[in-house]
């Protein structure tokens, strides 16, 4: 069950950006990890771990269930995949266009997601630091709502 859609600048069915992220972080590039990268790259938008497992079984990919979990967590650790906490409490994942820290706004109707950095989220964090005297070491922001198209349909 695909949870949301995430736009990517260029299609990459082989997952070469994911493979490159693992390689640059010093991880071995096994056939199984390459298969998981291809599974993720074949998803249109965000996904749950169960989606990758089902895709693997359907496609006969050479990726064991445990390998899917481990590779997904490695990709999260290197920033090539983002982990989202859905309003239901379930985790979902989205392939990221950048490995820099960023946040998502997710439509609960159609699942489209938008990177919030272009909308000034970093400036908000800076203002919070200035206003409170805190140094923000880490944070996580996930916003959920209805996109304009879903709001129009809901009327």
In sequence order, what DSSP letters do the residues of the chain get, joined into one string? ---BEE--SS--TT-HHHHHHHHHTT----HHHHHHHHHHHH-SSBB-HHHHHHHHHHHT-S--HHHHHHHHHHHHHTTSEEEEE-TTS-EEEEE-S-SS---EEEETTT-EEEESGGGTHHHHHHHHHHHH---------EEEE--HHHHHHH-
How sure is the predictor about 8, in pLDDT bands with cuts at 50, 70 and 90? Answer: very low
How sure is the predictor about 49, in pLDDT bands with cuts at 50, 70 and 90? Answer: very high
Residue 102 is predicted with a pLDDT of 66
Question: Per-residue pLDDT for 115 more than 80?
Answer: no
Question: Per-residue pLDDT for 101 more than 80?
Answer: no
What's the total number of domains in the chain? 1
Question: Per-residue pLDDT for 12 more than 60?
Answer: yes
Question: Per-residue pLDDT for 3 more than 70?
Answer: no
| Pairing outcome for strands 142-145 and 91-95 | unpaired
> What is the overall mean pLDDT for the chain?
82
Residue 72's nearest CA partner among 97, 47, 89, 54 is 47
Question: Per-residue pLDDT for 46 more than 70?
Answer: yes
How sure is the predictor about 112, in pLDDT bands with cuts at 50, 70 and 90? Answer: confident
Q: How far is CA 3 from the centre of its chain?
A: 11
Q: Is the dihedral of CA 19, 20, 22, 27 positive or negative?
A: positive
Residue 40's nearest CA partner among 60, 62, 56 is 56
Question: Per-residue pLDDT for 6 more than 80?
Answer: no
CATH number for position 80 = 1.10.10.10
pTM of the model: 0.71
Question: Per-residue pLDDT for 7 more than 50?
Answer: no
Q: What is the residue range of 53's domain?
A: 5-154
- Mean pLDDT for the stretch of residues 50-72: 90
How sure is the predictor about 4, in pLDDT bands with cuts at 50, 70 and 90? Answer: very low
Question: Per-residue pLDDT for 42 more than 90?
Answer: no
């Amino acid at each position: 069950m695909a949870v949301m859609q995430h736009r990517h600048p260029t299609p990459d069915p082989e997952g070469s950006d994911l493979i490159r992220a693992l390689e640059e972080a010093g991880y071995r590039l096994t056939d199984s990890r390459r298969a998981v990268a291809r599974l993720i790259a074949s998803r249109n938008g965000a996904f749950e771990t169960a989606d990758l497992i089902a895709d693997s079984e359907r496609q006969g990919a050479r990726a064991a269930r445990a390998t899917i979990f481990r590779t997904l967590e490695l990709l999260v650790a290197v920033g090539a995949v983002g982990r989202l906490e859905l309003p239901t409490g379930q985790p979902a994942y989205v392939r990221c266009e950048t490995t820099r820290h960023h946040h998502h706004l997710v439509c609960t109707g159609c699942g489209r997601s938008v990177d919030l950095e272009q909308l000034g989220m970093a400036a908000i964090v800076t203002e919070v630091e200035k206003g409170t005297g805190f140094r923000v070491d880490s944070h996580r922001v996930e916003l959920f709502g209805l996109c304009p198209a879903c709001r129009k349909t809901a009327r």
